[in-house]
Structure 1
Amino acid sequence: MTILSVIQQVCPVIGLNVPTAVFSATDRELVELQALSNEMAQRIAFDTRDWTKFKTLCTLTGDGSTVGFNFPSDYKRMLKKARVWPSASPFAPYTHYSDTDQWLGITVQNFRSIIGAWTMIGEQILIKPAMANLSTAQFYYITNQIIKDKDGAPKVAFTADDDVFRLDERVLKLGMIWQWKANKGQAYAEDMTNYEDALAVYAGADKGSNIIAVGRGRTPVDTDLAFPGIITP
């Protein structure tokens, strides 16, 4: 479903005429809908969970001397739980120093970790000691390309009517409805509840099968089990 189709479903609910085009329009309400669609898409994509569709593998390759590596061009953030795994030590990840004072301390002290260490400063990920030539370090991150154009190419934001949200369009629609009403001072509590319920259901399905099922069905005390064999007349 294109973003134009989403907005066309939103408009009757919020009391606007259904448009035939949005991102080429200059009417105030349609400009507001352009901004709202991008704001809500960003919120759903980045503020709720690490969606599997946006997880992207980054591979850094050493040259024997480089310590600082730029993030990928589509980098948004690391996963909420992520490690950096070196090819030189596949059974143990690098040690993460989130505190810059600690990182400066090991630098000044010339402390050498057994496996290696990493941190993020500025727009780079730093790894010490420098990785050997052609050795690698890998980690997953969240891409900022949450939209697709009409040809399927990923992009950062909605800019055309035929762009498509890479996550569930119904969640986007419900989110736009409640936020529009909230912005305009209208009653929105029920609409926000509908959005939160839809988001929770969609998020719950964004994973593979559980390896361990939590709990199990219980057989009533007076239930007789069927004979497991085959009865031949």
Structure 2
Amino acid sequence: MSILSVCQTLSTKIGIARPTVIYGSTDRDMLALQGVIADAVLAIKEAHDWQKLKAIATMTGDATKVGFDLPTDYDRMLKTASLWSSRYLWAMNHILDSDKWLELLTIPYTQVTGSWTIYGDQVQILDTMATGDTAKFFYIKNLPVVAADGTTFKPAFTIDSDVFRLNEDLLRLAIIYKWKQAKQQSYEEEMNDFNIILNRMIDKDGGGKPIVSGRHSTRGMNVAWPGTISGVS
């Protein structure tokens, strides 16, 4: 469903005339609606690491390079993302503190699992990766919109035929409550409806969540049960 169709279905809910054009219009309500749509898309995109927007970035060492450009469609890393190198058996150490990174650059530490940080729109990696070594991480793309051709992905709506890549009902509810919020109208009920559907979509996203039996490895820890878990009461 196009963004124009979505807004046509909700127009009576927010008290505006059924739109025939949104993007390209100079009507005050349509200009305000464009801003509300952008806010709604941002709220949904940032609420969860949506599987549809996930991608894997791969950096390949050349024995010289330390900084690697972020992908051109990079929005952010996953909320629990790690960086994994072909050189090590464990995830690399994420350095969040800038002074700590400077310490690594100035004091001759021996890296056990390697370290990384992000600045200057680059992933910085220590020690320098050897030629052919790779490092990978999951990230979220900044492309929640697709053109009507189904192949051109975009960071935002720009024409009326554009389509939201995530759930359209969720977008509709977000637009309604954010419009009312912007107009200083009562919006609590609409926001509650949005949050209910949001939580349902998050729970469904990425497939089922099976009950684990036997032995598995989680972030470097081996966890084992003596038997099989057959159900949860």
- Give the TM-score taking structure 1 as reference length: 0.88
Mapped to 2, the partners of 1:45 and 1:130 lie a distance apart of 34
Instruction: Give the equivalent residue in structure 2 for 1:2.
Output: 2
Change beyond 3 A, Cα 1:179–1:215: farther
Structure 2 residue runs without a partner (length 5+): 213-228
Mapped to 2, the partners of 1:37 and 1:104 lie a distance apart of 41
Give the C-alpha shift of residue 215 in structure 1: 8.6
Which structure has the larger Rg? 1
Instruction: Give the equivalent residue in structure 2 for 1:191.
Output: 190
Mapped to 1, the partners of 2:119 and 2:171 lie a distance apart of 34
What per-residue deviation string (whole Å, max 9, x for no partner) do you get for residues 97-142 of structure 1? 1111111112111212123111112211110111111221000011
Q: Which amino acid aligns with 2:100?
A: Q
Instruction: Give the equivalent residue in structure 1 for 2:41.
Output: 41
Q: Are 1:130 and 2:131 an aligned pair?
A: no
Aligned length: 216
Instruction: Give the equivalent residue in structure 2 for 1:27.
Output: 27
CA RMSD of aligned residues (A): 1.6
Instruction: Give the equivalent residue in structure 2 for 1:15.
Output: 15
Q: Which amino acid aligns with 2:32?
A: E
Structure 1 residue runs without a partner (length 5+): 219-233
SS in 2 for 1:138: strand
Matches within 5 A, 1:150-165: 150-152=148-150, 153-165=152-164
Q: Which amino acid aligns with 1:95?
A: N
Mapped to 1, the partners of 2:188 and 2:230 lie a distance apart of 34
Instruction: Give the equivalent residue in structure 1 for 2:119.
Output: 121
Instruction: Give the equivalent residue in structure 1 for 2:204.
Output: 205
Q: State, as a whole percentage, how many aligned pairs show the same letter.
A: 38
What per-residue deviation string (whole Å, max 9, x for no partner) do you get for residues 36-84 of structure 1? 11221111002x1111111110000111100011101111111111111
Mapped to 2, the partners of 1:158 and 1:177 lie a distance apart of 17
Name whichever of 187-196 and 204-213 sits farther off: 204-213
Mapped to 1, the partners of 2:210 and 2:79 lie a distance apart of 21
